Amino acid sequence: MDDLKVNKRLIMTPGPVSVDPRVSQAMSNSILGQFDYEFVDIMNKTMELIRKSFLTDNQWSFPIDGTSRAGLEAVIASIVKPGDTVLVPIIGRFGYLFTELVKRAGGIVHNIQKPMGEVFEQAEIIEALDTVKPKVLAIVHGETSTGRLQPIDQLGHACKERGIYSVVDAVATYQGMIIPVDEWELDAVIGGAQKCLSIPSGITPITFNDRFSEEINKRKRVELGIRSNESTEQDHFIRSNYLDLTQLQDYWSPKRLNHHTESTTSIYALYTGLKIALTEGIEARAARHAYHQEGLKQALKALGLEIFGDETNEMKMVICVNIPDGADDSKFREGLLKNYGIEIAGSFGELQGKIWRIGIMGYAIEKQNILTFLSIFSLYLAHQGVQNLNPEKAIDTLLAYYA
């Protein structure tokens, strides 16, 4: 068995993406015990950074020790009890994931759906809230499978007025655009690590408000021996221990009740990644993502490619292009990776083989990398036999954009 040797990559997918060396360095700090006073201090500071990152005053802003999917499941499994109704609008693959998670929790899902590449008008969703009258609205903010940004700024308020809990999957948009959780009156929001925040996968920042906390705490499982009536609680307690937000509240609060053994290095990564992001500034960081996305998009059009979907509802951290005639999806991506160490993504379901998704996420997104990517991508496409491309015009366009 060889020593670990990893070759250089320029990852231009919607995650996982490259990590800032300052994050890697932070992760090599000494392990601390989870009740070490220094670690408790870092936990507290990390919560404060998470609050700032979500523009919220929510006390309950802490990470889940697992990948984004664990964060989504923790929120859904805690708020949805068997028989609860959940409205899940679907514009792509991650709406299906919410659907799956609700069904696992025993909830009843009502889906509304748009063709791949479109988003909902918020009025359509609010109308569905009035028809379905769900307990929970679970909605994806940035649907990376189609590159669409679902507008959600009015949904939190609409839910609150109706006594519905809003749950937002902001895994792909977190730290790549501004998500003002309090201003938008969202009840629970799940961010992501390995996308625009650009730290390693394995930890997931979430936030939820007191209204959400009160509701999930009705299901709090009192420890053995204290519980008065097991039979009535049997149907209602949260099915997971590891992803039980009410237990995690006791861990991520002055109570510090022992739960799991917090992943020290992931906390170091999260702390440092958030500090880097907030030092750059959420607005500046959002502007950086949008700036490079726009430049590369213009250049890809100049190259001769077609952009997939309506640009009025596109995510600013992904570019979706139609795969041009003459290029084979898998063969092209494999060649790009094996020859140049550059990775782009295909898509899922009905879009598989039809579009490529180019991620514009986090640390690696700066002029030199984007220009390098465009040069290699353009010429390798031409090499693969795609006709009517104009690589020189593409580069002229991007250099002019940056000038």
**Contact 191/205 with Cβ under 8 angstroms?**
yes
Q: Rounded to an integer, what distance in angstroms lies between the CA atom of residue 300 and that of residue 292?
A: 12
Least CB distance to its own copies at residue 195 (A): 9
Of residues 328-357, which lie at the interface with its own copies (CB under 8 A)? 334, 337-338, 343, 345, 348
Sorted by sequence, the CB contacts under 8 Å of residue 219 that are 6+ apart come out as 78, 81, 236, 237, 238, 246
Q: Which of 84-92, 181-189, 194-202, 302-310 is the region at the interface with its own copies (rule: CB under 8 A)? A: 194-202
Nearer Cβ to its own copies (211/256): 256
- 164-175: burial string, b at 16+ Cβ within 10 Å, e else: bbbbbbbbbbbb
The answer to whether 160 contacts its own copies (rule: CB under 8 A) is no
Amino acid sitting at position 41: D
Strand partners, 90: 113
Sorted by sequence, the CB contacts under 8 Å of residue 113 that are 6+ apart come out as 89, 90, 91, 95
Please write down the HEC assignment for all residues of 37-97: HHHHHHHHHHHHHHHHHCCCCCCEEEEECCCHHHHHHHHHHHHCCCCCEEEEEECCHHHHH
The answer to whether 55 contacts its own copies (rule: CB under 8 A) is no
Residue 357 annotated as part of some ligand binding site: yes
Q: Which two tokens stand for residue 22?
A: 């300052």
Nearer Cβ to its own copies (213/247): 247
The answer to whether 268 contacts its own copies (rule: CB under 8 A) is yes
Strand partners, 321: 307, 356
Least CB distance to its own copies at residue 173 (A): 16
> In 133-209, which ranges are continuous DSSP H helix?
155-162
Sorted by sequence, the CB contacts under 8 Å of residue 300 that are 6+ apart come out as 307, 319, 321, 358, 374, 394
Of residues 270-299, which lie at the interface with its own copies (CB under 8 A)? 271-272, 275, 278
Least CB distance to its own copies at residue 401 (A): 27
- 124-146: burial string, b at 16+ Cβ within 10 Å, e else: ebbebbeebebbbbbbbbbbbbb
Strand partners, 165: 136
Contact pick of 73, 169, 187, 215 for its own copies (by CB under 8 A): 73
Cα–Cα nearest to 87, from 64, 110, 56, 61 = 110
The binding track of 94-123 with respect to its own copies, each residue x by CB under 8 A or -, is --x--xxx-xxxx-----------------
Nearer Cβ to its own copies (17/296): 17
Least CB distance to its own copies at residue 7 (A): 6
Least CB distance to its own copies at residue 4 (A): 5
Of residues 201-260, which lie at the interface with its own copies (CB under 8 A)? 201-203, 221, 224, 234, 237-243, 258-260
Q: Rounded to an integer, what distance in angstroms lies between the CA atom of residue 279 and that of residue 295?
A: 24
Least CB distance to its own copies at residue 86 (A): 14
Q: Rounded to an integer, what distance in angstroms lies between the CA atom of residue 106 and that of residue 237?
A: 12
**Contact 278/53 with Cβ under 8 angstroms?**
yes
The binding track of 74-93 with respect to its own copies, each residue x by CB under 8 A or -, is ---x----------------
Least CB distance to its own copies at residue 9 (A): 5
The binding track of 371-400 with respect to its own copies, each residue x by CB under 8 A or -, is ------------------------------
Nearer Cβ to its own copies (156/191): 191
The answer to whether 6 contacts its own copies (rule: CB under 8 A) is yes
Q: How many residues sit in the footprint of its own copies (CB under 8 A)?
A: 85
The answer to whether 49 contacts its own copies (rule: CB under 8 A) is yes
Cis geometry, peptide bond prior to residue 324 (ω within 30 degrees of 0): no
Q: Which of 33-41, 149-157, 180-188, 212-220 is the region at the interface with its own copies (rule: CB under 8 A)? A: 33-41
Cα–Cα nearest to 75, from 156, 137, 154, 157 = 137
Contact pick of 27, 55, 112, 287 for its own copies (by CB under 8 A): 27
Least CB distance to its own copies at residue 320 (A): 17
Q: Which of 179-187, 196-204, 304-312, 371-379 is the region at the interface with its own copies (rule: CB under 8 A)? A: 196-204
Residue stretches of the annotated binding site: 357
Which amino acids are annotated as binding site for substrate, given as ranges? Answer: 357
